A and B are shown apart, each in its own frame.
Chain A
C-alpha cells in the first residue's frame, strides 16, 4: 500500500448520481459501506433504496486505470409506513447498512430504517435451464399430444443477473429510532441500537431479541442522555461500546450480566465546569464511534473534533483532531439552522494509520496519525476530470483571506459530507455528498 495520508495524492476516480441541483429528498444518500473485501460498495438513501456497486477486475495492461465501481444491484429495501397506534410516520430512510462476512457464493447485508432491520441476500444467476419437455421456450405449455421424444433439460449460460431477496425481517423490537447496527465477530449475532435501548439478535431468529442495554428512566422527565451509536468489538465477541449525547462512551462485556446497564469501562474526557457554555453539551454529543481494525483503539466523532481512544485508558483520548475549529465562532447560527445537530460519521483506513471524516461545503478531512499530517479536500464536480489530483483546501477563519482560501462565511452549510467509507485494504475512498457518491483513489506513480 502506498504511503498514508499526508504524502498521498488523492485523485478523482468516479462520481455517481444526478448532476442537477434540484435534489429530490429520496435521493439524499444516508449511508455508505464497503464490504469486507472492498469489492462491493453499498449505499442507502432517504427513499429506502440500496444501490450496490462492484469493483471491476483490474486491467493489468493499464495499471493507471484503476478498477472502477459499476452498478451491481439495486433494490427497494424499506418502504414508508405509518404506525396508526402512535400516529407516527415511519421513514423508509436507510440509516445503516452493514455487510456480513462472506460464507458462500451469495453476499448478505443488514439494512435498517428507524424501526425494522432486514437481512438481504444478493446472489448471482448466470445460468438458466433450457430444453423443458412440457414447456415452450417462452413458457407456454406444450400440447402433450405433440410430444414425441424426451430430452434432458440442460443449464445454459445467460447474461449475469443479480438478485436481491429479503431473507429475514427483524421487526417490532424498537420503540425509538434505530441509529446503529453492528455484526458480531462470531458471525451469528448482531446488535441494533436506538435512542434508549440496545438489542442483541441472532441472524437466524426474527421473533426474539434480547435487550442488553436499557437507559430509559422510569420518569421520562428525567431523561438527560440518549444513545447515539453502538458497535461490537472487531475480535472480542463479548465486547461492545455505545456512545451518548453527553460525549461519554461505555464499554460493556456481555459475560458480566444479561443486562449490560453497568458498564465495564467508561470513557470520558473531563471538562472544567466553569468552561461550559450553552453549547458545550450539544457539541460534545458523539455522532459516530468506530473501533480500529486492530481492536486496540476506538474513534469518536463529535461536532467539532475526532478523538482516538486507547481502550486501556478511560480518562482521556490519546489523540484529538479538530475537524473545523473555525465553526466555533458560528455556533449561534449553526444552532439556529439546526446544523449543530448534524451527525457526521468517521472511518479508519485499512491499517489504522489514517482517519477520515466529513465537513461542510463538501469538504472532508483526513488525519494521518503516524505522520502527524492532515489535509482537507473537496468533493465537487469541478474537480471531476479522470485522475485529476485533488487540491488541498483551506478555510480562513477571519482576517486576511489568502488566495485559494475560502472564508468561513462563504461556506455552504447545505453541502454536508456526513458519510464516508474507506476500502478495507486499498487507498480507495467513497465520499457521499447530498445526492452524489464520489470515489477517489491514490495516485499510482
Chain B
C-alpha cells in the first residue's frame, strides 16, 4: 500500500500483470477460510449456494399458531409451559412451538425522525 495519504493509483491491470499480487490475495483468503473451517467444521460445501440464499429469502419469517400453542399447553399438566429457544442462525422448523415470548415486541408508536429535529 502507498505511503502517501493521497496515493497515485493505477487501476488494476489485466490478469497477465501482478500474478504475485493475485497469489498473495488468494493465500490471505485461503488462510481466512481455514480459520473459519476450524471454528465451524460442519460448514456446508456450497458457501454461496442454496443454504445462504434460502436464509436470505426467508428473512423475517415468524410463526405463531394459537392452536399449536394451546394444544402444547394442554398436554403439559405439571411441567412448565414450553419456553422459547432462541433460534439464532438456524431456520425455524415445524417442530418448534413458538410462544408469545418468541414474538417481537409491539413496535413503539410512530414518532418524527430525528433528522428533521
Contacts and interface: CB of A to CB of B under 8 A. Distances in A.
Interface of A: 6, 16-18, 26-27, 29, 43, 45, 47-49, 51, 71, 74, 76, 79-80, 86-91, 176-177, 195-196, 220-226, 245-246, 270, 272, 275, 277-282, 285, 316, 318-322, 325-326, 328-332, 335-336, 367, 372-375, 392, 394, 397, 435, 437
B62 interface: yes
Contact of B29 (A279, A316, A392): A279
Contacts of A86: 61
Interface in B71-117: 104, 107-108, 110-117
Given A86-B61, A331-B32, 16 more contacts: A18-B114, A26-B113, A27-B115, A49-B113, A87-B62, A222-B50, A224-B48, A224-B53, A245-B53, A278-B32, A279-B29, A319-B11, A328-B32, A331-B29, A336-B39, A437-B115
A34 to B, nearest CB: 15
Nearest to B12: A320
B14 A325 contact: no
B30 A277 contact: yes
B11 A321 contact: yes
Contacts of A319: 11-12
A49 B39 CA distance: 41
B66 interface: no
B23 to A, nearest CB: 8
A43 to B, nearest CB: 6
Nearest to A393: B5
Given A329-B28, A394-B5, A51 B48 contact: no
Nearest to B7: A374
Nearest to B11: A319
A224 B50 contact: yes
Contacts of B33: 277-279, 331-332
A278 B62 contact: no
Given A45-B115, A277-B26, A329 B32 contact: yes
Interface string B2-38: 0001111111101100000010011011111101110
